Each structure stands twice: as C-alpha cells, then as structure tokens.
Chain A
Amino acid sequence: MLDKSYIGRNLGRITTEVERGRLRFFAKATGETNPVYTDEAAAKAAGYRSLPVPPSYFFCLQMIDDPDPTGWLTKLGVNLQHILHGEQSFEYLDMAFAGDSLIFESRVTDIYDKKGGALEFLVTESTCVNQLNKVVVKMKCTTVIRNPGAGKK
C-alpha cells in the first residue's frame, strides 16, 4: 500500500520553455489540421502572439523537461507496469504560446484505495504560471495503481 504520509508532499517545480518545433511535433503526432497550431502567420492572424499551446499539451509540458518524470512514483514504490491514468482535469485561466517560459508546481493531494487495496488512487494537483507570474492553468491528475493479488481472499 502507498504511504499516505505523502499526502501534501510537494513534488517540486519544473521550468520549461515552450518551443515552436515541439508544438509542431505535437500537432503532427495528434493529427492536428488547424493551421493556427502549426503556422505562425495563421496564429498571428487569429490574434495570438505565436503558436498556442493546445489544451492538453500542458500535461506534456510538465513531463517533457523533467529529467525523471516518473521518478517520484518509483520512489513511492509504484511499479510502472501497474499504472493507468484515471482522471485528468484542466482549468484554464489564460493561454500560453511558443516562446513563453512556464513554471509548474505540483503536490500530492490525496491517496486512497478501493476494492480492498486492489486499486490505489494517487491524486496530484499542479499549477502552471507564466513568465509574467500569471496563472495559466490548474491541473488535477488521478493515477490508478493496479495491485494484482491485493484484495483477494
């Protein structure tokens, strides 16, 4: 079972630069066809200062410049073979664009289990702030850990 004393634990901060090339790669990987996300001129014509960070990419930005994005899970004793993404939420307060410098800060906000420990849930909340110290997005992530063998009688 996960150590519940991790609830409240600060997972630290990650600083990341939003790069145009990475945004274009993400657009390619997700089949994006809207030119606003790949073409600087189209983005500017839409009133944006550069290519926008698409809604779900904030989740990725948090991982991409973390040298060991799953290290904290391993430290908690989680076997990466047994993890699934359970829930994800985003609350948008502003947009971010290529060239921005973003800071993500995360902490563990809950740990609970179901089915006699066969499933454990790890909840983290993150806040992303831009170079102007403006909150851009708040995220909440629930990771599910399957514990084969647990909860069986």
Chain B
Amino acid sequence: MSNPQFNSVEVGTLLPSLVLPPLNRTVLALYAGASGDHVPLHIDIDFARKAGMPDVFGHGMLTVAWLSRVLTGWVSQQLIRKIDVRFIGITHLYNEVTCSGRVVEKLEQEGEHRVRVEIQACNQYGDKKVVGEALIALP
C-alpha cells in the first residue's frame, strides 16, 4: 500500500469515504460475538424495550470500527497515532451509515509530519452519530 505524502496532502483533502449497507440484526449479532461486547441492549429486543428503547441499536464501537476502516483505507495502520471519538447519536436499525474523513490541519509534532483528520459517521438523513478526530503521521 502506498501512503499519501505529507507534501501532497492539503487542509481540506478528503479521505475516500465508506458507505455501509443498512444496519441489520445479523451485523449486530456478529459484532457482539466478534467484539466480546455482550451488552444485551444491542442483541436482545426484550432487554432493549425494558430499558425504554424501541428496539436494539448499533454498538458505538461498531461505528468506530467502520471509521477506522476509512483511516486504514487511506494509510497503513502503523501511521495512526491517535483516534478520539464522541458518540452523539444512536445508530438505529436500517440506518445507512457513511463514514468520512477530512484533513483539517498539517503539523509537526514529536519530530514527525502529521495531519489532523476530522472523522464522522452520519446516517442517510445526515444525522451525525459519531464524530471525532485522528492524528496521522505521513512520510
């Protein structure tokens, strides 16, 4: 994989975004098993309803895994220095999530060329679900 060069990246450069298929129960069950996150809010509709939710909903960290795929689709993973995210909305069943990233700053830090990338996950209505930023070293 060839990594983008610091000199060829500008503030405003967009990372290739990732468009996910509508969220379904199979994905939630697979993610619960694969991630070890067995909190029943995501897999058991009876439990979710008792908690006052209309149905099960997506794991926040599933969306972070998708956001990470945007980063590792752009650079080799060893260049990722930091990822910070805030969960601001619940990803409901059948939401079609788009994960995107945009370079917002070029900087020198700890002797490296780095870029700060704003990342976000939105559903098909443009509602933000997870927002944050990543710090990436570039050659």
Contacts and interface: CB of A to CB of B under 8 A. Distances in A.
A56 B51 contact: no
A70 to B, nearest CB: 7
Given A29-B31, A34-B73, A64-B35, A81 B51 contact: yes
A147 B37 CA distance: 22
Nearest to B82: A91
Dominant SS at the A interface?
mixed
Given A54-B65, A81-B47, A90 B35 contact: no
B85 A87 contact: yes
A60 interface: yes
A63 B80 CA distance: 23
A69 B35 CA distance: 12
Interface in B39-75: 39-41, 47, 50-52, 59-62, 64-69, 71-73
A64 B97 CA distance: 26
B109 to A, nearest CB: 13
Contacts of B41: 80-81, 83
A86 B83 contact: no
A22 interface: yes
Interface string A91-105: 110010000000000
Given A54-B65, A55-B83, A91-B81, A30 B1 contact: no
Contacts of A61: 36
Nearest to B34: A29
Given A30-B66, A56-B68, A60-B36, A90 B82 contact: yes
Nearest to A90: B83
A30 B65 contact: yes
B61 A85 contact: yes
B40 A92 contact: no
A28 interface: yes
A87 B31 contact: no
Contacts of B84: 87-90
Nearest to A89: B84
Given A34-B72, A95-B78, A148-B52, A88 B64 contact: yes
15 contacts: A22-B34, A32-B69, A34-B69, A34-B72, A55-B77, A55-B83, A60-B61, A70-B39, A87-B85, A88-B61, A88-B84, A89-B84, A90-B82, A91-B82, A92-B83
Interface of B: 1, 20, 27, 30-31, 33-41, 47, 50-52, 59-62, 64-69, 71-73, 76-78, 80-87, 90
